[in-house]
Amino acid sequence: MRRIAMVVATVAVAAVAAGTVGAETFGVRKRIPRPEAYGRVVMDTYATKAKVAPVVFDHWNHRMQYTCRLCHVDLGFAMRAGETGVREQDNRHDLYCGACHNGKEAFGWQRQERKGLTSKPVKQCDRCHSVGKPDAPKADFYAATKGLPKSAYGNHIDWLAAEAQGLLHLKDELPGVTRKRKPIRYAGEVVIHAREFNMPEIVFSHTKHAVWNGCEMCHPDIFGVEKGVTKFTMQDIFEGRFCGACHDKVSFPVNFDCRLCHTKDVF
Ligand code: HEC
Ligand code: HEC
Ligand code: HEC
Ligand code: HEC
Ligand code: HEC
Ligand code: HEC
């Protein structure tokens, strides 16, 4: 009798644990996105309700030109899909997408089309509101990324090498819009112990991360600045927190090669 009660209790605990992890975490191998779709965000907080097509935002064509920090710190974009709450009015007042998509830094909501001596404004909503619009003008992924060093995962571009080889010139500020700042150099390499027998340790490079993220993408929201104060596990990362706040969404995936992070053999 007691034995049966124990078995029931164990099954109940296991069911609760599986429930907290979420039905999508285990049991099915995730689909691997196409290279240009890795880091794609479909924004639809207001669009469908307002009877316009949802907006497609791709990371690959934006990270070719800008640091993550510029958008996610200075311009205020959230790092979770759908959390920013951008409105068309914001964009028309030079905020969020409109900080660039104003016809100066990048295309805006309308452009002037010349016909002989006269010119008239032409709306270009579909370039952003592109879901279900196969004819919307699109940047050509292969043409735009030609000549960049390749990788075998994510966008299939080795972003770190591309920047290090001087093939990308990342802008970290928008003159007149964001505040000019002087980057902090912090060359420290943090070795993170994997806390599991046999699992190689993780060497975290501040130098390489700071190029894209500055300091403020990570500190203090994601990580504390005292070694060891932030407690997390691999499961947290797989669920999109800590290193997983970027990796597996925009930065390289976590289920491709564990060795990308677990680089240092313990024995
Ligand atoms: C041009 C601006 C811009 C740049 C540059 C940029 N992002 Fe984003 N990012 C966005 C926007 C916009 C969203 C969607 C926000 C929303 O839906 O509210 C987003 C979303 C995200 C998300 C959440 C994705 C998801 O599926 O939940 C992550 C993670 C992220 N960005 C990381 C990065 C990293 C890392 C970099 C640099 C390699 C970067 N971003 C560069 C604008 C940018
Ligand atoms: C640079 C990209 C971009 C362009 C160009 C653009 N939009 Fe948007 N628009 C957005 C984003 C981002 C949202 C927020 C989407 C969401 O989360 O629902 C949005 C939202 C909207 C909404 C939802 C209601 C609201 O208050 O936000 C309407 C309506 C809209 N846009 C109309 C237009 C029209 C009409 C045009 C062309 C004249 C246009 N947009 C051009 C990016 C763009
Ligand atoms: C920091 C500047 C910046 C911000 C912020 C930004 N973009 Fe862009 N975006 C660009 C640039 C530059 C291009 C390249 C095209 C150009 O030069 O006009 C581009 C290209 C695009 C394209 C590709 C269009 C095509 O021809 O395929 C889309 C779609 C787009 N952006 C949507 C958005 C949306 C939606 C947002 C806000 C959620 C946003 N962008 C925020 C700078 C920015
Ligand atoms: C991509 C995320 C990320 C970025 C960007 C980042 N850090 Fe860190 N930082 C970490 C992690 C992870 C740790 C280790 C935390 C731990 O061990 O608990 C850390 C630890 C630290 C520490 C504690 C001392 C040490 O070496 O362990 C300091 C100081 C620090 N960071 C400063 C900075 C500065 C300054 C910048 C900007 C140049 C920066 N960080 C950028 C993730 C980041
Ligand atoms: C704020 C976003 C962000 C967070 C958080 C983050 N990374 Fe990264 N990481 C990046 C970006 C951007 C790159 C550049 C390559 C790419 O995007 O795929 C990168 C590259 C790397 C690389 C390759 C560079 C190298 O050192 O060889 C490793 C390894 C790495 N990250 C490990 C980690 C680990 C471990 C953590 C957590 C302790 C972490 N990252 C947290 C954004 C992030
Ligand atoms: C983005 C970098 C990154 C990638 C990719 C990665 N790990 Fe980790 N892993 C970490 C970090 C950081 C820790 C340390 C967390 C801690 O304090 O335990 C860790 C810890 C671990 C641990 C120790 C126990 C635990 O739960 O924390 C195991 C086991 C582990 N990882 C397995 C894997 C496996 C298997 C893969 C490949 C499928 C993988 N990791 C890929 C960053 C990574």
Residue having the nearest C-alpha atom to atom 28 of ligand 5: 261
Dihedral angle of Cα 3, 5, 7, 8, to the nearest 10 degrees: 170
Burial class (CB in 10 A: 0-12, 13-18, 19+), 71: buried
Non-local (6+) Cβ contacts of 177 within 8 A are: 94, 99
Q: What is the pLDDT of residue 85?
A: 97
Q: What is the pLDDT of residue 11?
A: 40
Q: Residue 78 C-alpha to ligand 6 middle, in angstroms?
A: 25
In percent, the amount of the chain with pLDDT more than 70 equals: 91
Q: Tokens 């710190």 belong to which residue? A: 73
Q: What is the pLDDT of residue 195?
A: 86
> To test ligand 1's pocket by mutation, which of 43, 45, 73, 79 has the most ligand atoms within 8 angstroms of CB?
79
Mean pLDDT of 82-87: 97
pLDDT at 5 over 90: no
Any atom of ligand 4 within 6 Å of the Cβ of 206: yes
**Is residue 126 very low, low, confident or very high in pLDDT (cuts 50, 70, 90)?**
very high
Q: Give CA–CA dist 166/74, Å, rounded.
A: 24
Residue having the nearest C-alpha atom to atom 32 of ligand 4: 225
Asked which of 92-101, 149-158, 191-200, 209-218 is least confident by mean pLDDT, the reply is 191-200
Asked which of 163-172, 183-192, 217-226 is least confident by mean pLDDT, the reply is 183-192
Mean pLDDT of 199-203: 94
pLDDT at 191 over 50: yes
Cβ atoms within 10 Å of 185's Cβ, excluding its own = 8
> To test ligand 5's pocket by mutation, which of 236, 243, 250, 256 has the most ligand atoms within 8 angstroms of CB?
243
Q: What is the pLDDT of residue 43?
A: 98
Q: What is the pLDDT of residue 25?
A: 65
Q: Residue 107 C-alpha to ligand 3 middle, in angstroms?
A: 7
> To test ligand 6's pocket by mutation, which of 191, 206, 262, 263 has the most ligand atoms within 8 angstroms of CB?
262
Greater model confidence, 91 or 30: 91
Structure tokens at 188: 């420290």
pLDDT at 22 over 70: no
Q: What is the pLDDT of residue 183?
A: 87
Q: Residue 219 C-alpha to ligand 3 middle, in angstroms?
A: 27
Q: What is the pLDDT of residue 24?
A: 59
pLDDT at 15 over 90: no
- When the pLDDT of each residue in the chain is averaged and rounded to a whole number, the result is 90
pLDDT at 6 over 60: no
Pocket of ligand 6 (CB under 6 A): 192, 194-196, 199, 202, 232-235, 237, 243, 247, 254-255, 258, 260-262
Mean pLDDT of 130-148: 92
Q: Give CA–CA dist 211/159, Å, rounded.
A: 11
Any atom of ligand 3 within 6 Å of the Cβ of 63: no
Distance of CA 226 to the CA centre of its chain: 25
Asked which of 5-14, 72-81, 96-105, 168-177 is least confident by mean pLDDT, the reply is 5-14
Greater model confidence, 213 or 19: 213
pLDDT at 38 over 60: yes
Q: Give CA–CA dist 160/49, Å, rounded.
A: 39
